[in-house]
């Protein structure tokens, strides 16, 4: 069985700074990925059954030339995160404890759950 949920948050960190903070916070390893649809996004695969992605919505809404952070340094920008689990043996609460803790330690604001997206 598959489970998917999502969050929205704001950060004033650059992509590279946010990536470094997430990797320093452990226990997951994060990397930058690229797709035609999402452009650059961050991804972690804590296990074969779990995938966590962080997107910058402004970078993929059709505005040509946008990069991961189309904002001034220090400006608070909205990000979304999508968590996918393909196993009944992995508890959402355990993943949320790690992921939300990482975001809080990275200093994000306005963290809230949103409807999942594709």
Domains of the chain: residue spans and CATH: 3-114 (3.30.160.110)
pLDDT in tens, 10-63: 999 888 899 999 999 889 999 999 877 667 899 999 999 999 999 987 765 544
pTM confidence score: 0.85
pLDDT in tens, 67-108: 444 456 678 888 999 999 999 889 999 999 999 999 999 999
Do the Cβ atoms of 70 and 63 come closer than 8 Å? yes
């Amino acid at each position: 069985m598959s489970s998917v949920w999502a969050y929205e948050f704001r950060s004033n960190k650059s992509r590279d700074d946010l990536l470094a903070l997430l990797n320093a916070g452990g226990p997951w390893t994060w990397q930058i990925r690229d797709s035609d649809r999402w452009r650059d996004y961050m991804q972690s695969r804590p296990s074969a059954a779990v995938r966590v992605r962080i997107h910058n919505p402004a970078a993929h809404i059709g505005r040509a030339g946008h990069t991961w952070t189309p904002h001034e340094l220090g400006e608070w920008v909205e990000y979304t995160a999508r968590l996918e689990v393909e196993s009944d043996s992995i508890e959402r609460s355990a993943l949320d404890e790690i992921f939300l803790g990482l975001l809080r330690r990275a200093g994000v604001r306005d963290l809230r759950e949103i409807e999942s997206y594709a």
